[in-house]
């Protein structure tokens, strides 16, 4: 609840903190705004993972990504345990690492029994270097290079085949004595209410085989001894709050399993994708992880029973709902600009280079001032980034306490598609990232330096003076 000053002015203190009404109940991280360990101490200071955020900024600089290990592990455990609870067959949760792929995140997910979904050779290499077992790595992508496919084959991971080009390329480079383990990605033709750029399940999509080609694809694959087709895959988008699209998807995919048997294919795995949304702002109301998993498991089991099919190994690949809420980004406030009767701009030391989602997807976020958690909310401001781009606006109409230069602004829900989409626009070095747990902070991504920015530059001799 929002606390109130005697004069009726709202206070920022506890409104965004996880609300634990029953300490015996696990909170679903995707339904929270701040990480599960977020607390206010000494009345004014935000603490995450037992670490004071302002102290972290003093130690590691800003902008700074702060990853709460407990929140990430809780999300992993809730997905893993819910599938074990509600699905009578075998299951495997995969972390969709495009959300944030780095050694530490992959290692944490793997330590909780999760596999890793990768979409490039770089993500695959990182997962392998993090110690993830190849038999729990699945390579996606709509235009995998020959080199990426060769790396995947050599590593022993499963290739999720997206199109005819990939099928033919795999047959060309395969060794007959070592069949390549593949899944087929199909486009289910299911719409969901989300941003246009992140809907991937409708028929007009760059991803997956058209379902009208299903018989032809199954026929081709069944004739290739070099390909061991173990499953089918589909994904309908991300930041989804509705259960029905995923339930419809599950029913369609079981029909694909039935059709595969007509071609002699022994398909034993079914990957329903991910896409569960998170709470970015107060009005967002996503299902909990457990609710989402329960609905998926129920419809798969019912559809398999109706078709008299054995239960497949059920895979899902959540990304955002695993990692987003676990991380916040801390910035230092610098300049401000008041335009009378229009707006007040408050500028931070980062922006679109460390979080491109607002300018790309018009994504919305919430923020607090880490060193003024009990101060009254008296200002409505626009949080502006420091880049030479008028569209570099992180948050419009943010309700904050009165701020000044040097205050620490914390933006919530930045674990997904922030660092992974970060750039060096305006030649800004990418920020550092730390993981916090049990009052200890460890660096997991080092802050780039100016020297890093020119490390790959080459100056021709004729231009040297």
- Active-site residues, by number, are 388
Distance CA 425, CA 392 (A): 11
CB atoms within 10 A of CB 450: 10
Nearest Cα to Cα of residue 194 among 255, 118, 254, 280 = 280
Q: What secondary structure does DSSP assign to 37-81, as a single string?
A: T-EEETTTEEEETTEEHHHHHHHH-SSEEEEEHHHHHHHHHHHHH
In angstroms, rounded to a whole number, what is the distance separating the alpha carbons of residues 120 and 232?
Answer: 19
Q: Where on the phi/psi map is residue 141: left (φ > 0), alpha (ψ -120 to 50), or beta?
A: left
Q: What does the block give as tokens for 149?
A: 């496919």
Distance CA 31, CA 101 (A): 23
Structure tokens at 370: 């880490």
Where on the phi/psi map is residue 301: left (φ > 0), alpha (ψ -120 to 50), or beta? alpha
Residue 92 tokens read as: 């495997």
Tokens of 175: 């060794």
* R_g of the chain, CA atoms, integer Å: 24
* Strand blocks (E) in 207-351: 227-233, 269-271, 313-316, 327-339, 343-348
- Whole-angstrom distance, CA of residue 15 vs CA of residue 119: 37
**Rounded distance between C-alpha atoms, residue 116 and residue 96, angstroms:** 6
What is residue 15's DSSP assignment?
Answer: T
């Amino acid at each position: 609840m929002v606390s109130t000053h005697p004069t009726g002015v709202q206070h920022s203190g506890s409104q965004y903190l996880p609300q634990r009404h029953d300490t015996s109940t696990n909170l679903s991280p995707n339904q929270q705004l701040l990480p599960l360990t977020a607390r206010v101490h000494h009345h004014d200071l935000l603490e995450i993972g037992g670490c004071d955020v302002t102290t972290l900024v003093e130690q590691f600089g800003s902008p700074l990504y702060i990853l709460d290990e407990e929140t990430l592990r809780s999300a992993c455990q809730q997905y893993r345990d819910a599938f074990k609870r509600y699905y009578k067959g075998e299951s495997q949760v995969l972390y969709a690492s495009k959300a944030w792929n780095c050694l530490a995140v992959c290692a944490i997910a793997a330590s909780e029994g999760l596999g890793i979904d990768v979409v490039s050779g770089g993500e695959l290499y990182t997962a392998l270097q993090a110690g993830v077992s190849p038999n729990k790595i699945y390579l996606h992508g709509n235009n995998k290079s020959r080199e990426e496919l060769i790396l995947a084959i050599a590593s022993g991971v499963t290739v999720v085949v997206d199109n005819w080009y990939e099928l033919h390329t795999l047959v060309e480079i395969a060794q007959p004595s070592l069949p390549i383990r593949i899944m087929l990605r199909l486009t289910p033709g299911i719409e969901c209410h989300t941003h246009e750029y992140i809907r991937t399940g409708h028929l007009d999509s760059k991803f997956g085989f058209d379902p009208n080609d299903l018989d032809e694809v199954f026929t081709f694959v069944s004739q290739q001894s070099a390909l061991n087709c173990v499953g089918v895959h589909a994904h309908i988008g991300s930041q989804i709050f509705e259960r029905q699209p995923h339930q419809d998807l599950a029913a369609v995919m079981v029909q694909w399993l039935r059709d595969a048997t007509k071609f002699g294919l022994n398909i034993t795995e079914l990957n329903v994708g991910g896409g569960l949304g998170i709470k970015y702002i107060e009005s967002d109301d996503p299902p909990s992880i457990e609710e989402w998993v329960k609905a998926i498991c129920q419809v798969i089991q019912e559809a398999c029973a109706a078709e008299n099919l054995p239960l497949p190994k059920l895979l899902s690949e959540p990304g955002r709902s695993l990692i987003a809420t676990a991380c916040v980004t801390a910035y230092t406030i610098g300049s401000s600009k008041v335009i009378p009767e229009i707006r007040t701009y408050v500028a931070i030391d980062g922006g679109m280079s460390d979080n491109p989602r607002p300018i790309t997807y018009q994504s919305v976020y919430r923020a607090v001032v880490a060193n003024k958690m009990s101060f009254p909310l008296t200002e409505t401001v626009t949080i502006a980034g420091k880049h030479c781009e008028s569209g570099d606006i992180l948050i419009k109409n943010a309700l904050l306490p009165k701020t000044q230069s040097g205050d620490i602004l914390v933006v919530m829900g930045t674990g997904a598609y922030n660092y992974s989409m970060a750039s060096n626009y305006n030649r800004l070095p990418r920020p550092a990232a730390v993981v916090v747990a049990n009052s200890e902070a460890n660096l997991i991504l080092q802050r780039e330096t100016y020297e890093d920015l020119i490390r790959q530059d080459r100056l021709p001799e004729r231009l040297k003076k």
